[in-house]
A and B are shown apart, each in its own frame.
Chain A
Amino acid sequence: MSAFDCVIVGGGIVGAALADVLSADGVSVALVEARSIGAGTTACGMGHLVAMDDNAAELALTSWSVSLWRELADGLPRAVEYDACGTLWLAADDEEMAAVSAKVANYRAAGVRAEVLDSAALHEAEPALAPGLVGALRVVDDAVLYPPLAARTFALRAQARGARLMTGCPVRELRSGSVVISNGEVLTARHIVLAAGVASPTLCPGLPISPRKGHLLITRRGAPVVHHQLVELGYLKSAHGTDGASVAFNAQPRVTGQLLLGSSRQPGDATREVDAALLERMLKRAAMFLPGLDGLQALRVWTGLRPATPDGLPLLGPHPEKPWLWLACGHEGLGITTATGSARLVADQLLGRTSPIDARPYSPARFLAVSSREVAHA
């Protein structure tokens, strides 16, 4: 038995970022990962660090998180491939262009730098795009990176400060004050944080997290040159549909000269197989926006499972019925972006500090009713 202030279960980007923040605060931490650091959904993600403004809580967490990434950027190893390329949200018609004006105001009110590009400015910025697009919203401070190595960087920084990194150690059970590993080892801890992504409900039944599958494709080097992460504004319509599979155009330039193309959404699908028909839909959509893709070869295609909650916001905070258990899971398609802010919010709550943003919208209590027995004792 070994005693820690905090045992974090799950070494994805979220658990690793938390280990980094807590260890920097002098907290004794163990980070317990079933496979290797970043091997879960984190290894499957696109790595876009994006301020998103669908609702106030999402904008608060994403914009703060992107700014935390910017503070970290200079200290990240080259291999993390941090690239502050910004985002262009592409408007295909006047209706989408009208949405751009509303979004600009929204972003600026939150302190996020945003600009409107008309059709001419857009084609000057990105000559590889198909003609006919009406304009775009440019979010200047967004970035992309390579998620699994970002997670590894966090974990190694924590380890250098004395945190115990345990990989290849699936956790079998969470108990009040301890974590049982499948080899029988028991780690005791004052606080336990569940950061197991889409697998979190297996260790804590009843969590409102379900898989939302996505496909990605990376091209060979020599792809059409693009300078920003490109996303169609129609993405917002498809990303938030709750029923049926959807695709939307999303392309990232990588510092390797490759292009990373997404993305699809299949709510409730927990399989990992590539769906050829859906991939074809996704690529046809991409070729509509980037005609130069035709004839380019793919290097790899893969899928990943986003850990989705019913309202699209993560679960960050104490489990209402288990005061010893903290949740840091359910980040859906924004976990790479919000890992930095999520880690700070959970660490601040654990250490009894106030955070720069209000943590309440992410409180697990919004879904997990407290049993009557505990209410009576509250």
Chain B
Amino acid sequence: MREPASKATPLVTLRINGRAVTVPVGTSVAAALAMTDRFVSRADLSGRPRGPLCGMGVCFECRATIDGVPEVLMCLTPCREDQEVVTDA
């Protein structure tokens, strides 16, 4: 049974590199990253920053460690309560 839709969008709070971010349910982790002050997911070998590009699982630029699992695509992962996201790990 579905709950009747309520007006207020439910929110979840996750941590990206230790900082708490609160977003509406259904937000992807890549989108949550975009709401932080540093839209950077990884670095190239010389340390230059790279960030999510395609948003649809094609470019592989958004890989991060999510809840201890390395190399997860942030753009294909929905935010969940208490999620731990570590970029460039």
Contact = CB atoms under 8 A, between A and B. Distances in A.
Interface of A: 220-221, 255-257, 297, 299-300
Chain B's interface: helix, strand, loop or mixed, by majority? loop
A256 B71 contact: no
A257 B60 contact: no
B45 A255 contact: yes
B44 interface: yes
Interface string B55-78: 000001000000000010000000
A297 B45 CA distance: 18
Contacts of A220: 71
Contacts of B44: 256
Contacts, number: 9
* SS of A interface (majority): loop
A378 to B, nearest CB: 54
A256 B45 contact: yes
The 5 A-B residue pairs whose C-beta atoms are closest, nearest first, are A257-B45, A299-B60, A256-B45, A256-B44, A220-B71
9 contacts: A220-B71, A221-B45, A255-B45, A256-B44, A256-B45, A257-B45, A297-B71, A299-B60, A300-B60
Interface residues of B, number: 4
A257 B46 CA distance: 11
Given A221-B45, A256-B45, A300-B60, 6 more contacts: A220-B71, A255-B45, A256-B44, A257-B45, A297-B71, A299-B60
Contacts of A221: 45
A23 B45 CA distance: 35
A221 B45 CA distance: 9
A254 to B, nearest CB: 10
Nearest to A220: B71
A188 B29 CA distance: 52
A220 B60 CA distance: 10
Nearest to B58: A300
B19 to A, nearest CB: 26
A297 B71 CA distance: 10
A231 B67 CA distance: 40
Interface string B37-53: 00000001100000000
A39 to B, nearest CB: 15
A36 to B, nearest CB: 16
A297 to B, nearest CB: 7
Contacts of B71: 220, 297
Contacts of B45: 221, 255-257
Nearest to A221: B45
A297 B60 CA distance: 13
Contacts of A256: 44-45
A84 B13 CA distance: 49
Contacts of A255: 45
B73 to A, nearest CB: 11
A256 B42 CA distance: 13
A299 B61 CA distance: 11
B81 to A, nearest CB: 29
Nearest to B44: A256
Contacts of A297: 71
Contacts of B60: 299-300
Nearest to A255: B45
Nearest to B42: A221
Interface in B1-57: 44-45
A300 B71 CA distance: 14
A221 B70 CA distance: 13
B15 to A, nearest CB: 25
Nearest to A258: B45
A255 B45 CA distance: 8
A80 B2 CA distance: 53
Contacts of A300: 60
A363 to B, nearest CB: 42
